[in-house]
Amino acid sequence: MTVRVGAALAHSNIALSKYWGKRPYEGNYPATPSLSLTLDALTTRTRVRFDSSLRADQFTLNGEEQADAPRARVSELLTRLRVASGTDAFAEVVSSSDFPAAAGLASSASGFAALALAAVSALGLDWEIARVSDLARRSSASAARSLYAGFVELPAGPEEVTRDLLSAYAVAPRDHVDWRLVVAVAGDGSKAVGSTRGMNETSRESPYYAAWLDLAPRLHAELTAALAVRDFERFGAATEQSALAMHASAIAIGVVYWSGVTLDALSAVRKLRATGTLAFATIDAGPHVKVLCRAADANVVCTHLTAVPGVTRVIEARAAEGARVIPTEEVP
Ligand code: DP6
């Protein structure tokens, strides 16, 4: 019997320029470039134990044994790694997040980043972080970004079919600017339509998908340029536009992630701007509103979002480090 163990920690990330849509070929290559901020708000710790005596992969998440789709998705990543490394042992995966999953914020980003790094570490593979990011991307593209600290870009995949490595990379360290992301949790947020399905339906059916594909790289370039010169207002305006355009393309076919609370929180953000506090909203595949602001304005932003009826919790998130290998005992 051979046993090999490794563990890793990864933080979530929130995209400020959004990935929404995939290239129309195998391999989970994004159709749009994205730019994210790695955040300390949610941390996932994962331990992977390859054991030649196991008959199948096992996956325990926050103390509960998983079956069906969640386990299959974990198994797919492990199988990619088994093929790449010539291993045939199954693995036991134990993962836990420090944020209550019921709040609906638990993201696949920190999960697949931690899993990829823990599994590569367990097998003792001498992989560069870019290769680990590519492995995570094939399971969930947003996870490719969580391997890195601070502001991170994941380019779009090439237009022509490829099987090449496509990884994220850091564009600015976490202390490049002192900006915060305030998360307004809008109810329990269990997703009606997951992000994979939502973007696939948008790309197949939305009359506005072509417009989104046209606009997204331009907004992305605007964000990147504004970040380089630390222009908060320009960066924030493009952030909000990216989220609104992405959701417009989805809403056009009835893929609606927003609730009444989302709209009220958006309006609170607009009111803040009208009264001189620079704050800009972004929204992912759920009802929660994440508000980008300067550190000095974080308190006033938190106060205004807490006052929105239906907002159950407000979390102030800061830029965090990328994923890292941790001692196996650190996974509860
Ligand atoms: C709205 O990375 O969850 O959060 O690659 O299909 O797993 P898959 O999708 P996923 O999509 C994230 C969508 C988003 C925007 C973003 O994070 O860029």
Q: For residue 234, what are the CA distances in angstroms to 222, 308, 312?
A: 8, 26, 30
200 lines ligand 1 (CB under 6 A): no
The third-level CATH classification (topology) of the domain covering 179-317 is Alpha-Beta Plaits (3.30.70)
State the pLDDT at residue 332. Answer: 86
State the pLDDT at residue 211. Answer: 98
The H or E element containing residue 324 is strand 324-325
DSSP string, 154-170: EPPPPSS---S----EE
Whole-number Å distance between alpha carbons of 309 and 222: 34
Asked if residues 33 and 310 have their Cβ atoms less than 8 Å apart, the reply is no
pLDDT(149) > 80: yes
- CA 200 to ligand 1: nearest atom: 6
pLDDT(41) > 90: no
Eight-state DSSP code of residue 285: S
Distance 54 CA to ligand 1 centre (A): 32
CATH number of 3-174: 3.30.230.10
242 lines ligand 1 (CB under 6 A): no
13 lines ligand 1 (CB under 6 A): no
Query: Is the Cα dihedral 119, 135, 113, 73 positive or negative?
Result: negative
Domain boundaries along the sequence of the chain: 3-174, 179-317
pLDDT by residue (tens digit) across 86-121? 999 999 999 999 875 544 565 789 999 999 999 999
140 lines ligand 1 (CB under 6 A): yes
pLDDT(189) > 70: no
State the pLDDT at residue 192. Answer: 74
User: How does the average pLDDT of the chain come out, rounded?
Assistant: 95
19 lines ligand 1 (CB under 6 A): yes
State the pLDDT at residue 1. Answer: 74
What are φ and ψ of residue 60, in 5° steps?
-115, 125
Asked if residues 111 and 62 have their Cβ atoms less than 8 Å apart, the reply is no
State the pLDDT at residue 42. Answer: 86
How does residue 145 score in pLDDT terms, banded at 50, 70 and 90?
A: very high
State the pLDDT at residue 190. Answer: 63
pLDDT(239) > 60: yes
pLDDT above 70 covers what percent of the chain? Answer: 97
Distance 141 CA to ligand 1 centre (A): 6
Whole-number Å distance between alpha carbons of 231 and 96: 37
State the pLDDT at residue 102. Answer: 44
pLDDT by residue (tens digit) across 48-98? 999 999 999 999 999 999 999 999 999 999 999 999 999 999 999 999 998
- CA 109 to ligand 1: nearest atom: 2
pLDDT(45) > 70: yes
Q: Which of 151-165, 171-185, 188-202, 304-318 has the lowest mean pLDDT?
A: 188-202
State the pLDDT at residue 198. Answer: 96
Nearest CA to ligand 1 atom 7: 140
Q: For residue 180, what are the CA distances in angstroms to 144, 189, 243, 301?
A: 21, 22, 17, 10
**Nearest Cα to Cα of residue 138 among 88, 204, 199, 73:** 73
Q: What is the mean pLDDT of residues 294-318?
A: 97
8 lines ligand 1 (CB under 6 A): no
Q: What is the mean pLDDT of residues 129-133?
A: 98
Q: For residue 184, what are the CA distances in angstroms to 6, 19, 128, 188, 281?
A: 34, 21, 36, 11, 10
The residue type of 82 is R
Q: What is the mean pLDDT of residues 7-21?
A: 97
